[in-house]
Amino acid sequence: MIEVSGLSKRYGDVPAVRDVSFRCEPGTVTGFLGPNGAGKSTTMRMICGLTPPTGGAATVRGVPYRRIANPGRHVGVLLDAAAQHPGRTGREVLTLTADLLGVERARVGRMMEAVGLSPKAARRRVGGYSLGMRQRLGIAQALMGDPSVLILDEPANGLDPEGIFWMRTLLRDFADRGGTVLLSSHLLREVEAVADRFVVIAGGRIAAQGTKAELLTAPGGMVVRGLDPEALEGALRRVGLVAEPDGAGAFAVRATAEQVGRAAAEAGVVLLELRQAGGGGLEELFMMVTSGPRETR
Amino acid sequence: MTATTTTPTAAVPAASLDEPTRPPLPRLVRVEIRKMVDTRSGRWLLALIALSAVAMMPVMLFAAPRHEQSLAEMVSAAQLGIALLLPVLGILSVTTEWSQRTSLATFTLVPDRHRVAAAKLAAGWALALALAAASVLVAVAGRAVGEVLNRSGGSWELAPEQLGKVALLALISVSMGVAFGMLFMNTPLAIVLYFLLPNLWSAIGAMVSKLERAAGWLDTNRTMGAIGDPGVTAGEWTRLAVSLAVWLLLPLVVGLVRLHRREVK
């Protein structure tokens, strides 16, 4: 289980993460979504005790990560698959991890097999690996201590469609056996099929979170089209709603149908369309919340 | 927790997080030693350091006067390259973690960063002692060759005191490297400043007469050089200690504080 409460991080005057709270339950896969630079990696580093937070706290299985005696035996972490010494062989990287964690060396071979790295590939230096192979190596490293929690930052980066399918199966199995998974991505498609819950972050803040069903029916996901777009936008603004043009003449509005309808009626604007966003899966919602109201600072 | 009744891990008490215990220090040291020898660049550096001792032997055999070709002199000569390169070994053991970004995995698996620093220091000591021992063996071989070629006329004597000093200087050299690596956390910066700062100080100390007295206490080239010679006085030991407080202890302490606070990315 992972619990994040009120995590914040500022770099000088620049807030990178602001008051982020969420929890990941055992048996579930949580997709941590957001565009690049939204604060996903910073949040994950704070959970793992690598970045000191400016405010708030995070616990893994009830204690701060750094308080776990031998964290690799409980939490599998992959924060950046590219962060490996290019001169080490894949097998050597895993052997070092196995030695450090105090698990038997035989696990090295088993883990390589589990992630689909051939013995030949394992004897090669990591410098010659593709990003996809590094991701597999990183997953093997994370699984080395037989953890019950996995924290993976952009693990699907560089994987081919077959690799993404493999990763999905692996994470699903892990969660179905009672494990907790937190994985981030800037591409919704990569995690949509595997995640039970979603935490969407934008501009350092949580923009939305919940199950797929909750998010799709959540107030805030409306698409509205009017006969006179400018008048409609003005009508919405007058009642304090922010209308995001979708580029095709309609607006995305984070409000209920009733709020939008009343605003239009008051201004006498003719509506042509008013519906829940999300017809195109989570993607529409993802695009909407992450490109959401402009930050005003 | 509410929706987790079906999950087995939720039932595991938090106390189990103390088990298994944290990796003991000797294990961390073994892993750090392995990290220093398991890459091609690491092995090249170690080979280079050993070769620097070997390279001094022909110099001694063919350039030094016959009566100066004693085992003790050859051991001293073998230390030249070692003293120069051991700090680089120490620096790289720390800075490659940052340049190759392996620090991310290292500090995720061992969150107590001071234990990693201690393990790196101890690993550096182990390799430094191994290289110092190798250099002594090289000197013995060099002296033997001198005997066979009938070029060496010096004694075969080797005082235990000299062996102790060889070991001590090797330990100091590698420790200074680790300290500088930790202070700057950047390979080129640490290496350049390691060689530049003490030498700059030596040069200034020689030029500016007012600094002459201070240089005698703070210039490691002088204080460590004095230890290498036989018959070290109490005053020379004190000077060594003072200079090491500035060039070893201070960077080490500041480096540890930086390491503790630094964000690992």
- pLDDT 10s digits, B39-97: 999 999 999 999 999 999 999 999 999 988 999 999 999 999 899 999 999 999 999 99
Subunit contact A99:B6, Cβ cutoff 8 A = no
Q: How many angstroms separate the Cα of A151 from the Cα of each of A18, A148, A264, B250?
A: 20, 10, 45, 38
Which residue out of A61, A63, A99, A100 would a mutagenesis test of the B interface target, given it has the greatest number of B Cβ atoms within 10 Å?
Answer: A100
What average pLDDT does range A277-291 have in this prediction?
A: 64
Q: Are A225 and A250 in contact (CB under 8 A)?
A: yes
Subunit contact B19:A69, Cβ cutoff 8 A = yes
Minimal Cβ distance to B3: which of A25, A71, A96: A25
Lowest-confidence range among A209-213, A227-231, A269-273, B92-96?
A209-213
Residues in chain B closer than 8 A to A79 (CB atoms): 104, 108
Count the helix, strand and coil residues of chain B and give each as a percent rounded to the nearest 5.
80, 0, 20
Q: How many angstroms separate the Cα of B180 from the Cα of each of B177, B195, B223, B263?
A: 5, 10, 19, 19
Work out the percent of chain A whose per-residue pLDDT is above 70.
92
Mean pLDDT of chain A: 90
For residue A281, tell me if it sits in a domain: no
Query: Whole-angstrom Cα distance, residue A3 to residue B130?
Result: 47
**Position B22 pLDDT exceeds 70:** yes
Q: How many angstroms separate the Cα of A283 from the Cα of each of A182, A189, A280, B219?
A: 19, 8, 6, 66
DSSP string spanning A169-233? Answer: HHHHHHHHTT-EEEEEES-HHHHHTT-SEEEEEETTEEEEEEEHHHHHHSTT-EEEEESSHHHHH
**Position B10 pLDDT exceeds 50:** no
Write down how long chain A is.
297
Query: Whole-angstrom Cα distance, residue A141 to residue B263?
Result: 22
Subunit contact A85:B34, Cβ cutoff 8 A = no
Q: What is the pLDDT of residue B8?
A: 44
Q: What is the pLDDT of residues A65-75, one digit of tens each?
A: 999 999 999 99
Q: Supply φ then ψ for residue B3, to 5 degrees.
A: -90, 30
All residues at 6 or more sequence positions from B137 whose CB lies less than 8 Å from its CB, including other chains:
none
Range of the domain at A143: 2-212
Q: What is the pLDDT of residue A97?
A: 98
Omega within 30 of 0 (cis) for the link into A35: no
Q: Which chain B residue is nearest to residue A102, measuring alpha carbons?
A: B23
Which residue out of B27, B35, B108, B114 would a mutagenesis test of the A interface target, given it has the greatest number of A Cβ atoms within 10 Å?
Answer: B108
Mean pLDDT of chain B: 90
Residues in chain B closer than 8 A to A72 (CB atoms): 108-109
H or E element at residue A138? helix A131-143
Q: Based on the fold, state whether residues A40 and A112 are members of the same structural domain.
A: yes
- pLDDT range class, residue A153, cuts 50, 70, 90: very high
Q: Are A252 and A286 in contact (CB under 8 A)?
A: no
Q: Based on the fold, state whether residues A187 and A260 are members of the same structural domain.
A: no
Q: Tell whether ipTM is more than 0.90.
A: no
Q: Based on the fold, state whether residues A128 and A194 are members of the same structural domain.
A: yes
Q: Which chain A residue is nearest to residue B27, measuring alpha carbons?
A: A100
* C-alpha neighbours within 13 Å on the C-beta side of residue B134: 18
Minimal Cβ distance to B101: which of A62, A67, A80: A80
The CATH number covering residue A268 comes to 3.30.70
Q: What is the pLDDT of residues A81-128, one digit of tens each?
A: 999 999 999 999 999 999 999 999 999 999 999 999 999 999 999 999
Q: Based on the fold, state whether residues A8 and A142 are members of the same structural domain.
A: yes
The CATH number covering residue A23 comes to 3.40.50.300
* Cα A96 from chain centre: 29
* Encoded tokens for B243: 């200079």
Lowest-confidence range among A185-194, A247-256, B3-12, B113-122?
B3-12
For residue A217, tell me if it sits in a domain: no
Eight-class DSSP state of B132: H
Query: Whole-angstrom Cα distance, residue A110 to residue B18?
Result: 26
Eight-class DSSP state of A125: B
Q: Based on the fold, state whether residues A157 and A232 are members of the same structural domain.
A: no
For residue A284, tell me if it sits in a domain: no
Q: How many angstroms separate the Cα of B254 from the Cα of each of B96, B236, B257?
A: 19, 26, 5
Work out the percent of chain B whose per-residue pLDDT is above 90.
72
Subunit contact B17:A67, Cβ cutoff 8 A = yes
The span from the first CA to the last CA of chain B, in angstroms, equals: 32
* Encoded tokens for A182: 């937190």
- Total number of domains in chain A: 2
Q: Based on the fold, state whether residues A152 and A201 are members of the same structural domain.
A: yes
Three-state SS at B195: helix
Q: What is the pLDDT of residue B176?
A: 96
What average pLDDT does range A54-73 have in this prediction?
A: 96
* Encoded tokens for A24: 């990941």
Minimal Cβ distance to B263: which of A52, A79, A100: A52
For residue A236, tell me if it sits in a domain: yes
Q: Which chain B residue is nearest to residue A179, measuring alpha carbons?
A: B9
Q: Are A24 and A61 in contact (CB under 8 A)?
A: no
Neighbours of B41 (CB within 10 A): 11
**Position A294 pLDDT exceeds 60:** no
Residues in chain B closer than 8 A to A148 (CB atoms): 9, 12
Q: Based on the fold, state whether residues A102 and A238 are members of the same structural domain.
A: no
Q: Are A50 and B3 in contact (CB under 8 A)?
A: no
* Encoded tokens for B88: 């680089």
For residue A235, tell me if it sits in a domain: yes
Q: Based on the fold, state whether residues A196 and A266 are members of the same structural domain.
A: no
pTM, full prediction: 0.85
Which residue out of B109, B110, B258 would a mutagenesis test of the A interface target, given it has the greatest number of A Cβ atoms within 10 Å?
Answer: B109
To which residue do tokens 């006067």 refer? Answer: B65
Q: Based on the fold, state whether residues A7 and A148 are members of the same structural domain.
A: yes
Residue A281 zone, left/alpha/beta (φ > 0; ψ -120 to 50; rest): left
Q: Are A98 and A108 in contact (CB under 8 A)?
A: yes
**Position A216 pLDDT exceeds 80:** no
All residues at 6 or more sequence positions from B255 whose CB lies less than 8 Å from its CB, including other chains:
B117, B179, B180, B181, B182, B183, B185
For residue A295, tell me if it sits in a domain: no
Task: Return the closest-CA partner of residue A139 out of A117, A120, A160.
Answer: A117
Q: Based on the fold, state whether residues A250 and A205 are members of the same structural domain.
A: no
Residues in chain B closer than 8 A to A52 (CB atoms): 261, 263
B-side interface with A, Cβ within 8 Å?
1, 3-4, 6-10, 12, 14, 17-23, 27-28, 30-31, 34-35, 38-42, 96, 100-102, 104-105, 107-112, 261, 263-265
Q: Based on the fold, state whether residues A227 and A112 are members of the same structural domain.
A: no
Q: What is the pLDDT of residue A291?
A: 65
* Encoded tokens for A224: 């509205």
